Amino acid sequence: MKKNDSILNDFNRSKNLSSWTLIFPVLLYLFLLVVAYQVNNRQISVQIGTAIIPYISLGGIISQFQMLLFILIVVFYRKIGLVSVLILSTIQATLLVLPIIYGKVYTSIAGIAILISSAAVSILIYFYLKRLDSNQNTIAKYAFTDTLTGLPNRRAFNDYLSKLIAEYSNDDDKFALVMIDLDDFKNINDSVGHDSGDEILSEVVKRWKIVQSADDFIARIGGDEFTIIIKNYGSEEELERKIKKYSTAISSRFIINLNYFYISASFGVALYPKDSKDPSEIFRYADIAMYFSKNSGNVNITMYNRSMTDTIENSVALEQKIRIALEENNLYFVLQPQYDTKTRKIRGFEALVRMKDEYGNIINPASFIPVAEKTGLITSIDNWVIRNSMLFFKRVLDITNENLILSVNISVLHLLNKGFLDEIQQMLNETKFPPSNLEIEITESVFISSMAKAIETLNELKKLGVCIALDDFGTGYSSLSYLSKLPIDLLKIDKSFIDELLVSESGRNYVEAIISIGHIMNFSVISEGVENQKQLDILTNLGSDFMQGYLWGKPMLPKDALKLLGVSDEIIKSTLLA
Domain ranges of the chain: 12-144, 154-304, 330-577
Mean pLDDT of 526-548: 94
Look at residue 79 and tell me whether its pLDDT is greater than 80: yes
Which of 573 and 566 is assigned the larger pLDDT? 566
Cα–Cα distance measured from residue 560 to residue 201, given in angstroms and rounded to the nearest whole number: 50
CA distance linking residue 351 with residue 383, whole number of Å: 12
Whether residue 164 has pLDDT greater than 80: yes
Does residue 178 register a pLDDT over 90? Answer: yes
Region 536-549: mean pLDDT is: 95
Q: Poorest-confidence range of 13-17, 42-46, 161-165, 197-201?
A: 13-17
Question: Average pLDDT of 105-120?
Answer: 77
Enumerate long-range contacts of 272-280, CB under 8 Å, 24 or more apart.
Answer: 272/165, 272/168, 272/173, 272/174, 272/175, 272/176, 272/177, 273/168, 273/171, 273/173, 273/174, 274/174, 275/304, 277/165, 278/165, 279/158, 279/161, 279/162, 279/165
The pLDDT assigned to 476 comes to: 57
Q: How many C-beta neighbours within 10 Å does residue 253 have? A: 11
pLDDT digits (tens, 9 = 90+) for 269-279: 999 999 999 99
Position 258 confidence tier, pLDDT thresholds 50, 70, 90: confident
Which of 452 and 531 is assigned the larger pLDDT? 531
Geometric angle at alpha carbon 403, from 400 and 408, rounded to 5°: 105
Express each pLDDT in 397-446 by its tens digit. 999 999 999 999 998 888 888 889 999 999 999 999 999 999 999 987 76
What confidence category does residue 479 fall into, taking pLDDT thresholds of 50, 70 and 90? low
pLDDT tens digits for range 314-334:
888 999 999 999 999 999 999
Considering only 12-16, 27-31, 386-390, which range has the smallest mean pLDDT? 12-16
Tell how many helices (H) and how many strands (E) occur in the chain.
22, 18
| Share of residues in the chain with pLDDT > 70 (%) | 91
**288 burial level (CB within 10 Å; 0-12, 13-18, 19+):** buried
For residues 354-365, one letter each, b for 16 or more C-beta atoms within 10 angstroms of the residue's C-beta and e for the rest, the string is bbbbeeeeebee
pLDDT > 90: percent of the chain = 46
Tell me the average pLDDT of the chain. 86
Per-residue model confidence (pLDDT) at position 280: 92
Answer CATH for 154-304 from 1.10.3210.50, 3.40.50.720, 3.40.50.300, 3.30.70.270 = 3.30.70.270
At 350, the pLDDT band (50, 70, 90 cuts) reads very high
Beta bridge partners of 335: 351, 556
Find how far residue 238's CA is from the centre of its chain: 24
* pTM of the predicted structure, to 2 decimals: 0.58
> What CATH topology corresponds to 330-577?
TIM Barrel (3.20.20)
pLDDT bracket for residue 502 (50, 70, 90): confident
Q: How confident is the model at residue 59 (pLDDT cuts 50, 70, 90)?
A: confident
